[in-house]
A and B are shown apart, each in its own frame.
Chain A
């Protein structure tokens, strides 16, 4: 997975130096049972070894000052059937900001732009989906939901299955995010706002 620039943020492949921050985020008490481990805690070594399991690409999402916003991941690629799954995780300070959705949109665009996938799929637990359901209605197709599927914070909640199709994404959203990438690349090349030097000197 390549690094991607956006006027607001930057995606770049996760590196070992990022593991601990991501581990702390995923295992935080405040996350409760909402994240992928469902409230269970695993040791750091197991977390790291699970990190790249069946993963096509995992990108840290950062502000241009280097601060971590979260992570977006493409996993379980099925090249025969042209499908791949995505997930996102936001650090607490970025939750609800919408910035991870921007990162995720770049990831989807990348998966269609440089890979031959037809469909990008995602699972979303009901509490998280409620936060972005209305803003993604145009591009995301609900494929159904497993009702009362998961125990989250004392309640059985639905798990939604979502699909993004190449034909609907690329002409509108994909084109828009590619323009954002080009604009950010041009800004960085011209040294605008000093973002490039920040990224290089922090190594993030």
Chain B
């Protein structure tokens, strides 16, 4: 388990319509961290909600309880599931630099675990732009890079790569001690 220490546990809860404000703020301010929704730029608000749910298998808001208050810090999603080939994609979205990265990593671990234990997926992929942190960074696991589309994302005056990494079911189960 990543994190440990004295970090509060993430609280995963359903996405409510009122969460759109927080999520659109993430998209508008940090589009480079959200390839699924912002590959072609920040969507207009009425398209944003449709994109937020497009091809989603399961997604949850991530809250944390700090100093007597519940604070929303991100979103974790499983999307683009292919049940025939046993593959699905995961994302972990939040405000970079908000000091909640480790808690979001714990939420990501939970949703990956859900992906492997509730469905028979063989592989879970994560995509990131090279302008942002890799999806699986902070989990302390070997998530090999499989595809790097070079210079296909324009951000802040530069062209960045779109990188796909993967986690195999057998590696995950071995790591979490639940057998293969």
Residues of A within 8 A of B (CB): 38, 78, 80-83, 118-119, 121, 141, 143-151, 156, 161, 163
Residues of B within 8 A of A119 (CB): 151-152
Contact of A80 among B41, B148, B166 (CB under 8 A): B41
Residues of B within 8 A of A (CB): 39-41, 82, 84-87, 122-123, 125, 145-154, 159, 164, 166
- The B contact surface, by secondary structure, is strand
Contact of B148 among A38, A83, A118, A143 (CB under 8 A): A143
Contact (Cβ within 8 A) A161 B151:
no
Residues of A within 8 A of B164 (CB): 144, 146
A126 CA / B119 CA spacing, docked (Å): 26
Contact (Cβ within 8 A) B152 A146:
no
Which residue in chain B gives the minimum CB-CB distance to A40?
B84
- The A contact surface, by secondary structure, is strand
Contact (Cβ within 8 A) A151 B148:
no
Which residue in chain B gives the minimum CB-CB distance to A158?
B146
Contact (Cβ within 8 A) B40 A145:
no
Contact of A145 among B41, B147, B153 (CB under 8 A): B147
Contact (Cβ within 8 A) A143 B85:
no
Contact (Cβ within 8 A) B149 A147:
no
A161 CA / B154 CA spacing, docked (Å): 19
